Chain A
Amino acid sequence: GAVVSQHPSRVICKSGTSVKIECRSLDFQATTMFWYRQFPKKSLMLMATSNEGSKATYEQGVEKDKFLINHASLTLSTLTVTSAHPEDSSFYICSAGTRGTGLYNEQFFGPGTRLTVL
């Protein structure tokens, strides 16, 4: 099956620093990647949709200058949390979309990155 990896799986950083999270589709080409954020005991909230070679589309309330998304190739998207603050501490999950052979467009999730900002 389709595999999506994320790196790092866990990161702890100081307030004010920037953190980059990578999302890779390992055995398929993903035309679209999604970035989600999940706070403890809450559901996944879509942050942005990223299409290869174009600017990401951000959801309402998500600061594009704070959460920089780059989707340079069909297998890699990166999310950079700039000038991170403790309130940015969360579980960040990416997913990659590909056209399925069945009735639906499939979306495969990475294992997530736990960000803790001190």
Chain B
Amino acid sequence: GQNIDQPTEMTATEGAIVQINCTYQTSGFNGLFWYQQHAGEAPTFLSYNVLDGLEEKGRFSSFLSRSKGYSYLLLKELQMKDSASYLCAVSGAGSYQLTFGKGTKLSVIP
């Protein structure tokens, strides 16, 4: 099975940097996804990590350590529109299936 942990809520200031952590214990691992979800909407893809290291994409970066079962999503130059839930999801070996964490609700304040 899969067990995925991430903080429930975080608050950060506009213009700042925030790091959202995710730890996982899995019976099989193919990769880790981060999604952004605004209230009442479907998740939108942010990033995918399968190899150890940092993947940078504009203001968002994602890091993975497979040996530690750990990932983080880094958001820079925070904007008010970044207020959303951020979901960490793990893909099992050889499968499309995703197991989602409970999500981290990020509130960006002025």
Within 8 A of A (CB), among B43-77: 43-45, 48, 50
Task: Identify which of A41, A91, A105, A108 contacts B91 (C-beta below 8 A).
Answer: A105
Task: Identify which of B43, B87, B96, B99 contacts A97 (C-beta below 8 A).
Answer: B96
- Asked, given contacts A43-B87, A43-B103, A44-B87, whether A107 binds B98 with beta carbons under 8 Å apart, the answer is yes
Dominant SS at the B interface? Answer: loop
Within 8 A of A (CB), among B11-46: 30-31, 40-45
Q: Is the CB of A42 within 8 A of B102?
A: yes
> At the interface with chain B, which of A14-22, A65-73, A109-117?
A109-117
Q: Is the CB of B43 within 8 A of A44?
A: yes
Within 8 A of A (CB), among B63-110: 87, 91, 95-103, 105
Q: Is the CB of A112 within 8 A of B42?
A: yes
When C-beta atoms are compared, the residue in chain A nearest to B4 turns out to be A43
- Asked, given contacts A44-B87, A93-B42, whether A107 binds B101 with beta carbons under 8 Å apart, the answer is no
Using Cβ atoms and an 8 Å threshold, which residues of chain A touch B95? 105
29 A-B residue pairings within 8 Å (CB atoms): A32-B96, A34-B96, A34-B97, A42-B103, A43-B87, A43-B101, A43-B103, A44-B100, A45-B100, A46-B98, A46-B99, A49-B96, A93-B42, A93-B43, A97-B96, A103-B31, A104-B48, A104-B91, A105-B91, A105-B96, A106-B45, A107-B96, A109-B42, A109-B44, A110-B42, A111-B41, A111-B42, A112-B40, A112-B42
